[in-house]
Structure 1
Amino acid sequence: MHHPINFTPAVQPAAAPSDSVWCFAFLDGQLLLVAEASADDAEAAPAFGLPPLPQPWPEARERHYLGRLDERDCWALELAARPEQADAQWQGVALRPAMMQLPEPLMLLAGRAAQVLDWDRTHRFCGVCGTPTERLERERARRCPSCQHQAYPRLSPAMMALVWRRNPGLASGFELLLARSPGFKPGFYSALAGFVEPGESLEDCVHREVAEEVGVQVRDLHYYGSQSWPFPNSLMIAYRAEWAGGEIVPQAGEIEEAAWFDIDALPGIPPRFSISGHLIRDTVERLRQGAAGV
């Protein structure tokens, strides 16, 4: 799971800005990264990092201050054109693979930057009366000058459930229920997930989504953790749940395939980049230690 980072969110920089910055610059929806050649192995695939954007910054359609990470100011920029100082090593990378290239603190901030820019882009007009909105200076909000409606960044909560059960016929003694959606890479499976509906608790959502997606019932829910998931604006909340009954019936159009897998013979699963990757691996370890329900 993710560890806390030394980041202080803010809407405006302090009176004394830091000498150096982290700048998350997006161009045509892609995050600009720069290849960093390895000094130890010239033939190794290059790592990628955030490119330096010296002042004055290139022309930007939008600029948002995010806060301070380890005494460095952090900004999100939506650029109007490729910066003049960009060389051949600068690349525009889609958000998901870009985040996977960055160390954890910068990975999390890249997701934050993308969500702030997306919120700003999609709230240029009032959702009540259609008037162009204005950005507020001291809080992350846009206000309608006509009807005074204010729009703040919104998240869509989504539950994730990893269902497990005992199986004395297996050497490991346990198996997991994993599923794949039509858009997954061949051979890859993950935990079940779905959005919370209005008026629904997280626990109600777990029971409903599991029943809808694979037709089984669960019990003994245990909270695992959460992760901001900027694809586009979700908050993933993960649980472990014990199988309580029912046979697998994949939901048509949503679940391409679902099955029970021995914890010692899992198919391809998500990397630890996502909470599902953490959830599956950590649950397997707990099951091997006989501690899944605590």
Structure 2
Amino acid sequence: MTASKIHWNPGWTTKAPEQGDLVLELSGSGVVKPADGWLRPLESMTGNPESAEFVSLGSANGRPVFVTEVPESKAEGQEVVSLRDALLMISDAPAAMLSTGFQVWQWFQDHKYCGRCGGSTGFHPRERAKWCSTCNIPWYPRLAPCVIVVIRRQDQYLLAKSSRVKRHFYSLIAGFVEPGESLEGAVVREVKEETGLDVTNIRYQGSEPWPFPHQLMAGFFADYAGGELVLQEDEIADAGWFSPESRPPVPPETTISGRLIRDMEKVIVAGGSGS
């Protein structure tokens, strides 16, 4: 089943996979990719279905889809694509399905035991949650809200290079939302902490799940309001003001950062305010 033919719908069931159901196989930080797509039938999976654990993801083309993990020794000789490469470099990768698969599998591994009493958990009968019958509490998949922002100053915008990521992209200022903080408040704080700049006129543009490991990215435009660049060196290796015709390499449009940058470029070229 090739990526271009995958029509994936998220969903949830507690039933075990059956012959003919589809499996997304993970191995380490990558996906075991069959020659004809991203999924394989249960009966032809790389590992041993009898000893594997499975978590429901939804359905693809009307067939149930499950995620499992294959030991790296079993994946030898197979094509294993890292999740980051799939999302950044492969335009026809089923990004939503792969993102969900990694996040759901991580949740399944992290909550085999109750965080309160330490007892074993089972699947909740009606929701995507692990259930502790002793404490009577559910453990849902974790989501961490984050903000990411394009800052405009006249006909230029700010791009920054992370001190942690090895890729040569320049991208945007981003960070996690703190408890008790609004999304807009997080934009102001993160920009100030990482660059020393002040921003105003913050406006929401869109969102995207980002599974490294479980972020939900909220994208914004903002206007420069003052200050000089003072970089937080443990976060930002370099930053500067760029114009649409003279910018460095940036992430592809398959990512929210890539789309935000290109959307801002269109606003600048058109002479608009982007409000």
CA distance in 2, matches of 1:128, 1:282: 45
Query: What amino acid does structure 2 have at the position aligned with 1:133?
Result: T
Name the residue aligned to 2:143.
155
SS of the equivalent of 1:256 reads strand
What do residues 116-175 of structure 1 show as CA deviations (whole Å, max 9, x unaligned)? 000010111111111121222332111122222210011000000110111xxxxxxx11
Name the residue aligned to 1:276.
257
CA distance in 2, matches of 1:102, 1:8: 19
CA drift of 1:262 comes to 2.1
CA distance in 2, matches of 1:191, 1:163: 8
CA distance in 1, matches of 2:223, 2:266: 16
Matches within 5 A, 1:32-47: 32-35=32-35
Distance 1:286 1:72, change over 3 A: farther
Distance 1:18 1:220, change over 3 A: farther
Name the residue aligned to 2:134.
146
CA drift of 1:265 comes to 0.2
Name the residue aligned to 1:165.
153
Distance 1:268 1:262, change over 3 A: same
Name the residue aligned to 2:115.
127
Gaps of 5+ in 2: 1-5
Distance 1:20 1:278, change over 3 A: farther
TM-score (norm: length of structure 1): 0.81
- Equivalent residues of 2:14, 2:123 under 8 A apart: no
Q: Which moved more, 1:176-185 or 1:220-229?
A: 176-185
Name the residue aligned to 1:103.
92
What do residues 65-117 of structure 1 show as CA deviations (whole Å, max 9, x unaligned)? 2112442322212235766xx895x312221113443625x221011011000
CA distance in 1, matches of 2:191, 2:76: 49
Name the residue aligned to 1:74.
65
Are 2:208 and 1:227 aligned?
yes
Name the residue aligned to 2:234.
253
Distance 1:80 1:252, change over 3 A: closer
CA distance in 2, matches of 1:18, 1:184: 40
CA distance in 1, matches of 2:216, 2:120: 28
Q: Percent same amino acid at aligned positions?
A: 37
- Equivalent residues of 1:213, 1:250 under 8 A apart: yes
Name the residue aligned to 1:40.
none
Name the residue aligned to 2:3.
none
TM-score (norm: length of structure 2): 0.86
Q: Which moved more, 1:156-165 or 1:271-280?
A: 271-280
Structure ID, larger Rg: 1
Gaps of 5+ in 1: 37-48, 167-173
Name the residue aligned to 1:218.
199
Are 2:42 and 1:9 aligned?
no
CA distance in 2, matches of 1:228, 1:247: 32
CA distance in 1, matches of 2:62, 2:192: 47
What is the CA RMSD across the aligned residues, in angstroms? Answer: 2.6
Aligned length: 265
Q: Which moved more, 1:185-194 or 1:257-266?
A: 185-194
SS of the equivalent of 2:52 reads strand
Name the residue aligned to 1:41.
none
Distance 1:187 1:79, change over 3 A: closer
Distance 1:281 1:91, change over 3 A: same
